[in-house]
Amino acid sequence: MNKRTFLKIISAMTASPAVSPLIAWVAGDKLKNWAGNVDYSTENLYSATSINQVQEFVKKQNKLKVLGTRHCFNKIADSTDYFLSLKEMDEAIALDPQARTVTVAAGVTYGKLCPYLHAKGFALHNLASLPHISVAGACSTATHGSGEKNGNLATAVSALEFVTAAGDAVKLRLEKDGETFLGSVVGLGALGVITNVTLDVQPTFLMRQYVYENLPLRQMQDHFDAIESSAYSVSLFTDWQKQRIDEVWLKSRVEPAQEFHAPPEFFGAKLATRNLHPIAELSAENCTEQMGVPGPWYERLPHFRMGFTPSAGKELQTEYFVPRRHAVDAILAVERLRDQITPHLMISEIRTIAADNFWMSPCRNQPSVAIHFTWKQDWPAVRALLPIIERELAPFHVRPHWGKLFTISPDQLKASYEKLPEFVQLAKKFDAHGKFRNDFLNTNVFGG
C-alpha cells in the first residue's frame, strides 16, 4: 500500500461516524507494513474511537490484532482475521505536572505527543531514530533510542490500560501491580488492546547534536566506554569497511553538567562541517539539525525529522542486543563478517541502552549494546546472512529486536528469556484462547 492509499483510508476512517467502522478497502491494494516487505494476511481493518468501541469490537471477534503505525519489519503485527486501528485515539488525556506524568490514548505517535509536551514545559527521557511510531506499538516491542543512562522507551511507562480478550478494561500500575506490570508493558501485542498509557515526563530541555566523521575502529576498541559516556545519547554508524566508524552522532543536553564541548577532533574523528545523513552520500534534508545548533529535545533525539520520509527507498532492518560488557567483542565479531555484510547493507548503527526489568525486554537486567543493520530490500540475501551473524553473536547471549527481522530459533529465544514461561501464563490470564495471538507469537513465544 502506498502513502496516498493509506491517507485515503485514514480520511475514510476520520469521516465515519459509526461504531467500529469498517474501512472500505481500496480494491487491488494490499495492506502492507511501512517498509512494504510484509503483505498483511487480511485487509479487514477497523477503526475505534473510544474504549467502549474497542470493548465491543474485541467481544465480537474470535481473533484480531491491533495495528499501530506498521513500522515492524516482521509479522509480529500480522492477522489473518481482523485488524483494529487506534489511530484516531491519539490525544493526551491528562498531564499531571505534580506527579510528572502524562496519560495518552494509545494511538498517539511520538511525533504528535512531543511538541504538545514541550509546549507544556515537559519532555520524555528518550526517543527512537524517528518520531513517526505509535507510543503503544513502540513500548510493546521494547523500542529504544541510545544513551548509557537511558532505558528503552517502555521504561517511561508507569501505568497501562488495556482491554482483555473478554472485553474487560484493566489498569496496571507499576507501584500497585509489581511483576504483573513488568510482564505486561513489553507485551508484544499478546495481552490485549492497549487503550491508554501513562508516561513519566521531566522538565523540558534543549539539546545540541554534533557529528564526527571517520573514527578509527581501533579507537572504538580502546575507548568504547569513554566514547559512549561522552554525551547523553551516542550513535555509531558504520558500513563495516575500512576499519572505521563512518559517523559518530553525539546528542548532548544544554545543561552545565551535561554539555558536550565539541572539540575539532574526537578520538581521531573529525567534526563535520555540514549536516550529515547516516549514509554520508545521501542528502541530510530529512535529518534533525546538527552542528551544535540548540533545539528542543524532540527535534534532536531522533535522527529523522517528523515532517519527512525517514529513509531513502525501501529497506529491511535487523537488530541484535548483547550485554554491554561484551560490546567491543561483539562489534568486532560482526566486523570480521564485513565482506559478507556490506554488499547487502545500507548502514549499521551501534547504540547503548540502560538495563530495565520488563520480562520480555531484550535489555532485561542487563545494560546492553544494540547492533543494528539497515539492509537493502533483498530478503533472500538477508535471510541467508542472518544465521551467520547470529552464530557469531551467539556466545554473547544475543537477543533480537522484537519488531525487526531475525532467524534465531524459538528454542534459543526461550533459553534467553527466563521469564518467557511466566509471560505465556500472564498472556493466558488476559487472553485464555489466544484471541490476540498470531503465527509470529505462536512460533516465537507460545511454542507452536
Residue nearer to ligand FAD on the CB measure, 197 or 262? 197
83 class by beta-carbon count within 10 Å (0-12 exposed, 13-18 middle, 19+ buried) = buried
Distances (CA, A) of 308 to 42, 111, 132, 317: 29, 11, 10, 19
Considering CB under 6 A, how many residues would be counted as binding ligand FAD? 34
Smallest distance from ligand FAD to CB 102, Å: 16
Among 193, 276, 284, 413, binds ligand FAD (CB under 6 A): 193
Tell the smallest beta-carbon distance from residue 154 to ligand FAD (Å).
Answer: 10
Under the criterion CB under 6 A, does residue 403 sit at the interface with ligand FAD? yes
Give 94 or 119: the residue with its C-beta nearer to ligand FAD. Answer: 94
Give the nearer residue to ligand FAD in terms of CB position, either 219 or 318.
318
8 A C-beta contact, residue 167 and residue 258: no
* Residue 233 within binding range of ligand FAD, rule CB under 6 A: no
The nearest distance, CB 126 to ligand FAD, in angstroms, is 10
Helix (H, G, I), strand (E, B) or coil at 308: coil
| Among 111, 147, 183, 189, contact with ligand FAD (rule: CB under 6 A) | 189
- Which H or E run contains 323? strand 316-323
User: Is residue 363 involved in binding ligand FAD (CB under 6 A)?
Assistant: no
Identify each DSSP E strand in 48-168 by its residue range: 65-67, 83-85, 92-96, 101-105, 122-123, 157-163
Residue 194 within binding range of ligand FAD, rule CB under 6 A: yes
Q: Minimal distance in Å, beta carbon 261 to ligand FAD?
A: 27
Nearer to ligand FAD, 151 or 323 (CB): 151
Burial of 338 (0-12, 13-18, 19+ CB in 10 A): middle
Q: Which stretch binds ligand FAD (CB under 6 A): 59-67, 95-103, 247-255, 354-362?
A: 59-67
Cell of 138: 513502540
Length of the chain: 448
CB of 244 or CB of 437, closer to ligand FAD: 437
Q: Which of 49, 238, 311, 318 binds ligand FAD (CB under 6 A)?
A: 311
**d(Cα 264, Cα 280) in Å, to the nearest integer?**
19
**Between 327-335 and 217-228, two packed helices, what is the crossing angle to 10 degrees?**
150
Q: Counting contacts by CB under 6 A, is residue 444 touching ligand FAD?
A: no
Side chain identity, residue 432: A
Backbone φ and ψ of 7, nearest 5°? -60, -40
Residue 137 interacting with ligand FAD (CB under 6 A):
yes
Residues 62-81 that bind ligand FAD (CB under 6 A): 65-72, 76-77
Q: Tell me which residue has its CB nearest to ligand FAD.
A: 137
Smallest distance from the beta carbon of 407 to ligand FAD, in angstroms?
17
Task: Classify the C-alpha dihedral 130-215-233-194 as positive or negative.
Answer: positive
Q: Which among 93, 84, 92, 96 has a CA at the least distance from the CA of 109?
A: 92
Closest distance between ligand FAD and the C-beta of residue 36, in Å? Answer: 10
What's the CA angle centered on 175, arms 172 and 176, to 5 degrees?
55
Q: Which residue in 143, 164, 184, 352 binds ligand FAD (CB under 6 A)?
A: 143
Amino acid at 121: G
Kindly identify the residues of this chain, within the stretch 77-136, that bind ligand FAD according to CB under 6 A.
77, 86, 106, 128-130, 133-134, 136
Provide the b/e sequence for 393-405 (b: ≥16 CB within 10 Å).
beebebbbbbbbb
Per-position x/- string for 27-56, each x denoting binding to ligand FAD as judged by CB under 6 A, each - no binding: -------xx---------------------
Q: Does 227 bind ligand FAD (CB under 6 A)?
A: no
Among 75, 144, 208, 419, binds ligand FAD (CB under 6 A): 144
Q: What are phi and psi of 48, to 5 degrees?
A: -115, 150
In angstroms, give the least distance from the CB of 89 to ligand FAD: 8
Regarding 138 and contact with ligand FAD (CB under 6 A), the answer is: yes
Amino acid at 237: F
CB of 197 to ligand FAD, least distance (A): 8
Residues 6+ apart with CB under 8 A from 320: 330, 370, 371, 389, 390, 393, 398, 399, 400, 401, 406
**Binding of residue 279 to ligand FAD (CB under 6 A):** no
Positions touching ligand FAD (CB under 6 A) are 34-35, 65-72, 76-77, 86, 106, 128-130, 133-134, 136-138, 140-141, 143-144, 188-189, 193-194, 310-311, 401, 403
